[in-house]
Amino acid sequence: MRNKRRWLAAGAVLTMMGGGVAVAQTATANSVPRNCPTLHVSKGWYGANRAALQKMIDERGSCSGSGGAKPVATFDWDNTVVKNDVSDATLAYMLRHDKVLQPTSWKATNKWLTDDAARALTKACGTSVRPGRPLPTSTDTGCTDEILDIYQDEKTSDGKTAFAGEWNHRRTVPSYVWITQLFGGRTPAQLTEIARKARAENLAAPVGTEQKVGTHTMEGYVRYYDQQRDLIHTLQKAGFDVYIVSASSEPVVRAWAPGVGIDRDHIVGIRNTLRHGRLTYGVQGCGDVKDTHGEVLTYMDGKRCWINQAIYGVKGAKAWQQQDPAHRAALAAGDAETDVTFVGDATGVHLAINRNKTELMCRAYDNADGRWLINPMFIDPKKRQAAPYPCSTKGAVHPDGTLGPIHRPDGSVIPDQQDRIHG
């Protein structure tokens, strides 16, 4: 509830409307200095969301006159700043252009990859291509399909489990790790250049385009959200440090982030370790977790850890903890469970893009601190989810992968929530 008094001041009345923050403007024309950066894109913002965002910018940014450290804003990338997934777009491009390199062994790529999956990949992709050389996936449909079956469905083409073992389900997902490991053997610069080529293809394709990769159908276009580009630019003009915090490979996001004015120093993504300047199958650790095989990603609680470590310089086990308000973002935006922890940490606005993801939407609709804003997707928004979100029983993902009730900070349980803000 920090800064609640400022949030309610400045001649605006805040009321709850549909799980978001509705602003009834009563301010005079002189209440905001004329040189304050303002949002220009209005189409696509639900209800009073744009007004609430503008109010936060005015109160926390350069117009507030408060001085001190620059406020921070943190954005997820895929389906938050852009429509669709840039890692998927990059992998599709690599498979269609023979850019995935043969590993020494498939089993070595991922610690959770099962023997069944390794055998299926070896059979489908063969052993005639030397390790480190490109697999002919543009023509070898069987190899391409096996890779995509394992990545997308977490099963082999004949239905066997592809990933097994134990992992913290609030810190990592084996298939999320594996896509970065499929990029292994490339230098970061090479991967960024491949991602730039995929970017050009996906931006040129009409909205709604699908592409064939092997026998699979995948999304064939990506678009920047005009609303988010405008929001990011306005935040920057108002003195905010704006960061992208993504569960995509960091070199891939580097190809895309300049399109919204974000430089490489303001990108936090999955960071694979390097050997002789090339990406390995290892992943950099966070907090008190050292470099690993992917036990920690910029995923769920891992996003909090990486924000604390990379942006605020918090070291060791403390990086996993919620920090004091001075060391948390003013605004955070996301669209899925992978974002729920860091979006919830924001002190000014929690912006949830509605993709019907249970844990995020339960917290957003519950709106415990009155600072959650919910917006339908700006392109091809999801329709209303008919059944209530099961917040009180199966809304929260536990570290062991089981589901349980979602608790507020005070320990009370969030009741089931109806989907009210949608396409």
Set out the domains of the chain in order of their start, with CATH numbers.
Answer: 4-79+225-404 (3.40.50.1000), 86-219 (no CATH)
For 238-266, the three-class secondary structure string (H helix, E strand, C coil) is CCCEEEEEEEEEHHHHHHHHHHHCCCHHH
CA atoms within 13 A on the CB side of 163: 21
- The predicted-structure confidence for 280-319, as pLDDT tens digits, reads as follows 999 999 999 999 999 999 999 999 999 999 999 999 999 9
Share of the chain above pLDDT 90, in %: 90
The CA distance from 271 to 283, in Å, is 6
Q: Is the pLDDT of residue 357 over 80?
A: yes
Read off the pLDDT band of 341 (50, 70, 90).
very high
Residue 165: closest CA among 120, 107, 124, 123:
107
Read off the pLDDT band of 210 (50, 70, 90).
very high
Contact 161, 154 (CB under 8 A): yes
- The predicted-structure confidence for 267-283, as pLDDT tens digits, reads as follows 999 999 999 999 999 99
pLDDT reported for residue 4: 32
- The predicted-structure confidence for 240-258, as pLDDT tens digits, reads as follows 999 999 999 999 999 999 9
User: Which residues, including other chains, have CB under 8 Å from residue 51's CB and lie 6 or more apart?
Assistant: 12, 23, 25
Contact 336, 360 (CB under 8 A): yes
pLDDT reported for residue 32: 46
User: Which residues, including other chains, have CB under 8 Å from residue 343's CB and lie 6 or more apart?
Assistant: 76, 332, 333, 334, 350, 351, 352, 360
The CA distance from 135 to 374, in Å, is 43
Would you say the C-alpha torsion 122, 128, 129, 132 has a positive or negative sign?
positive
Q: Between helices 86-96 and 141-148, what is the axis angle to 10°?
A: 160
Q: Return the structure tokens found at 201.
A: 């293809």
H helices of 61-182, in order, are: 86-96, 115-125, 141-148, 174-182
- The predicted-structure confidence for 129-183, as pLDDT tens digits, reads as follows 999 999 999 999 999 999 999 999 999 999 999 999 999 999 999 999 999 999 9
Read off the pLDDT band of 14 (50, 70, 90).
very low
> Quick one: average pLDDT of 197-224?
98
Q: Is 300 buried (19+), middle (13-18) or exposed (0-12) by CB count in 10 A?
A: buried
- The predicted-structure confidence for 59-90, as pLDDT tens digits, reads as follows 999 988 877 889 999 999 999 999 999 999 99
Q: Return the structure tokens found at 173.
A: 């997902």
Q: Is the pLDDT of residue 18 over 50?
A: no
Taking residue 329's Cβ as centre, other Cβ atoms within 10 Å add up to: 27
φ, ψ dihedrals at 3, nearest 5°: 65, 20
Would you say the C-alpha torsion 199, 200, 201, 205 has a positive or negative sign?
positive
- The predicted-structure confidence for 22-47, as pLDDT tens digits, reads as follows 333 333 334 544 578 999 999 999 99
Taking residue 13's Cβ as centre, other Cβ atoms within 10 Å add up to: 10
The answer for 40, left when phi > 0, alpha when psi is -120 to 50, beta otherwise, is alpha
Q: Is the pLDDT of residue 15 over 50?
A: no
Q: Which helix H or strand E contains 83, and what residues bound it?
A: strand 82-83
pLDDT reported for residue 34: 52
* Residue tagged 């339960």 (tokens): 362
Q: Which helix H or strand E contains 204, and what residues bound it?
A: helix 188-204
